[in-house]
Amino acid sequence: MFNVNKVREDFPILKREVHGKPLVYFDNAATSQTPQVVIDTIVDYYSNYNANIHRGVHTLSQEATDKYEEARIKIKRHFNAKEAYEIILTSGTTHAINMVASGFETLLSKGDELIVSALEHHSNIVPWQMLCEKTGASLKVIPMTDEGVLDMETYHKLLNESTKLVFCNHVSNALGTINPIEEIIEAAHKFNAAVLIDGAQATPHIKPDVQALDVDFYVASAHKLCGPTGVGLLYGKQEWLEKLPPYQGGGEMIATVSFKKTTYAGLPHKFEAGTPNICGGIAFGAALDYMNSVGFNEIAAYENELLVYATQQLEKIEGLKIYGTSANKTAVISFNVGAIHPYDIGAILDKLGIAVRTGHHCAQPIMDYYQIPGTVRASFSFYNTKEEIDVFVIALQRAVAMLA
């Protein structure tokens, strides 16, 4: 049975106060909190075996290399990649998307088409716009509906022989919508287009199986799933990773270097130039172990309870409008109350110890669709409670009374 009080014991930060009030942390879609086992892993690395990895002859280097490669295998297993070398460790989702976008520069030409969804984070829009500018390819958009759901009928009409790439998030960070990525991938493959799925917002709640999805690229950030910042993954099918040129030149990514000709290392090193975030990679593995020990089915079921409860409570507040009402969503609630500016609500909530995000959530096209400057976003994790939601709803009512 899922025991939230036991889980909360794992997170030291949940004991702190903010402005004299117990912290209520509802900004999980921006970054998650860190359990003690992951903190311990980081301390252990720097206390006991900090060294540069690969090719080191000495003991510390070998220990660090072993742990780093063990982490890669944990990540491979978690995402069910076929091979460990299909897991490229990156600095995060943004870095991973840029790697793929930059790699496609040599593979695209004028007349090629790319398809993006209306629900994307800026990091899954801007690198592709830059790619289009460089290659002459054009960008088409899958529109969204008032519920914050993708218009799949239009998607199917956008696909054609010129479509080379489709990219879409698995879950929208601004609205929580879970997108029908199975359908998106299958349809794109009928036209031989590659698909990149941004899993930054899905991976804290869902355990994706990249082989079952048959996805070409899947990217995510460790810091949203109980790991540290500055590390993430690019999963790529072997055939694609071999087709793409290296992203950066430097140490670690070469086979041989001479001034006449340099040859590149095999996967995954071809994409891992320079000293990586060694400690971060190892801690990413520890975070996945931790989340799996809690259990993704348990996490999803409990978070859904929080979502249903919070939605019911919030809907009682007069003038409150929720954006993103898909039947299929994660525990994210984006809302506004009347004409009150989201920032003003966020600032008062902070004084009451409650952390929410306000603004456009790096998804301005969604805000443009609704013709609003931004929203207040409360995003829940498996370590949050219904009692915290009660505290939040009372605080919100106070804020609204002050501001209305």
Residues lying near ligand PLP in the complex (CB under 6 A) are found at 92-94, 121, 123-124, 169, 173, 198, 200-201, 221
Min dist CB 203 to ligand PLP, Å, is 10
Are the C-beta atoms of 74 and 289 separated by less than 8 Å? yes
Min dist CB 206 to ligand PLP, Å, is 13
Pick 29 or 345: Cβ nearer ligand PLP: 29
Kindly tell me the burial class for residue 160, based on how many C-beta atoms sit within 10 Å of its own C-beta (0-12, 13-18, 19 or more). Answer: exposed
Are the C-beta atoms of 58 and 50 separated by less than 8 Å? no
Min dist CB 233 to ligand PLP, Å, is 11
Min dist CB 202 to ligand PLP, Å, is 8
Min dist CB 177 to ligand PLP, Å, is 11
Pick 64 or 307: Cβ nearer ligand PLP: 307
Cα(217)–Cα(237) distance, integer angstroms: 7
The catalytic residues are 362
Pick 7 or 200: Cβ nearer ligand PLP: 200
The terminus-to-terminus CA distance of the chain in angstroms comes to 43
Torsion of CA 102, 104, 107, 110, to 10 degrees: -90
Helix (H) or strand (E) holding 220: strand 217-221
Min dist CB 39 to ligand PLP, Å, is 19
From the DSSP assignment, how many helices (H) and strands (E) are in the chain? 14, 17
Q: CA nearest 271: which of 286, 249, 302, 301? A: 249
At residue 378's C-alpha, the angle toward residues 326 and 371, to 5°, is: 60
Residue matched to tokens 């929410």: 356
- What letter would DSSP give residue 225? T
Pick 201 or 336: Cβ nearer ligand PLP: 201
Are the C-beta atoms of 336 and 356 separated by less than 8 Å? no
Any alpha helices (H) in 111-197, and if so which ranges? 126-135, 152-158, 181-190
Are the C-beta atoms of 281 and 229 separated by less than 8 Å? no
Q: In 3-state terms, what secondary structure has residue 239?
A: helix
Pick 74 or 377: Cβ nearer ligand PLP: 377
Pick 94 or 358: Cβ nearer ligand PLP: 94
